[in-house]
Every structure is written in C-alpha cells, then in structure tokens.
Chains A and B, each alone.
Chain A
C-alpha cells in the first residue's frame, strides 16, 4: 500500500502558493515601475559607478530595490522548493530544505539590503 495515502501532509496549504503568486505579481509590478522610473531618473542608463551612486540618492530607488530583493528572493526560493517537492523528498529532507531555504532567504535579503544601504551611504558621503 502506498504510504502516502494516509501519510502526514504539511498543512502549508494555500498560503505558500498564494505568497508565491503574490510576490511573483509584485516583482512584475516593481520591474515595470523600475523601467518607468529609470526612464525619468536615469534616461541615459547607468554606465559608471558614480552614476549608480547618484541614482541611489533618489529615495524611491532604494525602497524599490529593497522590496524587489525581498520579493524576488522569496518567490524564487518558494518556487525552487516547489520543484523539489515535485520529486517527493522524504519528510526529513523536506524539513532540512525548509530550514536551509529559510536561512538562505534571510541571508540573501539581509545581504541585499546591506548592499543597497551601503550604496546609499556612499552616495551621500561623496
């Protein structure tokens, strides 16, 4: 008999999928806004370091970038976890994946935010 038939199911249900869908849509929205804002803030593109620093002085940019990092990292990690789920990982492996992915996500987001804030700080001091 297939053990999965009466085996435990994680109760994650709709919410994780919903977050994935929501972050996916928000990433699209931000990218779209990004192109529009870029058109006004940096119409000639960002070709040097100095231009990038200057670009970050507009407060919309770092806020947008931070949100983008949060959404894109969550979306891709939930998605990747979904792909792994399609391979029927064992219960223990899935638990490990949950922890590792949470850690990786947290590190990636903290790193991204730190990077953005560093650029803002450097731009302000130069």
Chain B
C-alpha cells in the first residue's frame, strides 16, 4: 500500500470523484461529497454576507435588490438541491448505520435521487416563475 502514499493528496482525492466502471452507489457517494463541499462553501459565504444585516437597512436592501437576478436564482436552486440531496442521503446513511434497511440501501439511494430531482424541479419552476 506504500504506493498510494507517494501520490500527491490531490491525485488521491481525484479518485473519489471517478465514477468509471463503478455502480450507482459510488455516484451516491460522489454526490454526497460534492454537496458537502459545496454546502460548506455556501455556509461560509452565507455567514459573511449576513454581516450586512448588522450594518443596517441600507446595505441589506441594496444587497437584496442586487441578488434578484436569474444567476442568483439559479445558484439558490442549486443550493436547495444540494441541501436536499445531502439531507436525504444523510438520513439514509444514518438509517443503514443503525442497521435499518441495509439490504435496501441501493433502493433507498435511488429513491433519494428521484425525490431530489423532483423536488428541485418543482422548486426551480416555482422560483423562476416569479
């Protein structure tokens, strides 16, 4: 196993995101990891942005006006989708870690994916129709 430690961390990390020749379960893991990183990034940005709230009405209302465009709406849909997937998949992992439905984990994962797609589609339609 010493071969691996000689590789750079980035090379090793890249292997997490390689779904070639793998099953849908691997896709579940990849999405979980991507959404985890994405949501953490969002959390950082969110905390920074909200500091505007403390500065008073002017700055915040300007900010709200600024983000009212399709790009930000799209990003918002993305965040909700990511959050939804990460949450549902998290529930699945907690369940199987406590021994509930391990044999049906793949069916659970597919359900998670389907529900995420449906919910985010509905949410996107809702957001863009305003």
Point out which of B13, B39, B43, B56 has the most chain A C-beta atoms below 10 A from its C-beta.
B43
Q: Which of B18-26, B89-97, B99-107, B110-118 contacts A (4 or more CB under 8 A)?
A: B89-97
Contact of B64 with A by CB under 8 A: yes
As a 0/1 sequence over residues 44 to 59 of chain A, the CB contacts with chain B under 8 angstroms (1 = contact) are 0001111010000000
Residue among A21, A24, A48 making CB contact with B61, cutoff 8 Å:
A48
Contact of A76 with B by CB under 8 A: yes
With the chains together, A112 CA to B44 CA distance in Å? 11
- Secondary structure at the A interface, as helix, strand, loop or mixed, is helix
In the complex, which residues of chain B have a beta carbon less than 8 angstroms from the beta carbon of A115?
50-51, 53-54
Size of the chain B interface, CB-CB below 8 angstroms: 30
A49 touches B87 (CB 8 A): no
With the chains together, A74 CA to B39 CA distance in Å? 13
In the complex, which residues of chain B have a beta carbon less than 8 angstroms from the beta carbon of A86?
13, 16
As a 0/1 sequence over residues 63 to 83 of chain A, the CB contacts with chain B under 8 angstroms (1 = contact) are 000000000110010011001
With the chains together, A108 CA to B64 CA distance in Å? 23
List B residues at the A interface (Cβ < 8 Å): 1-2, 5, 9, 12-13, 16, 33, 36-37, 39-40, 43, 47, 50-51, 53-54, 56-57, 60-61, 64, 83, 87, 90-91, 93-94, 97
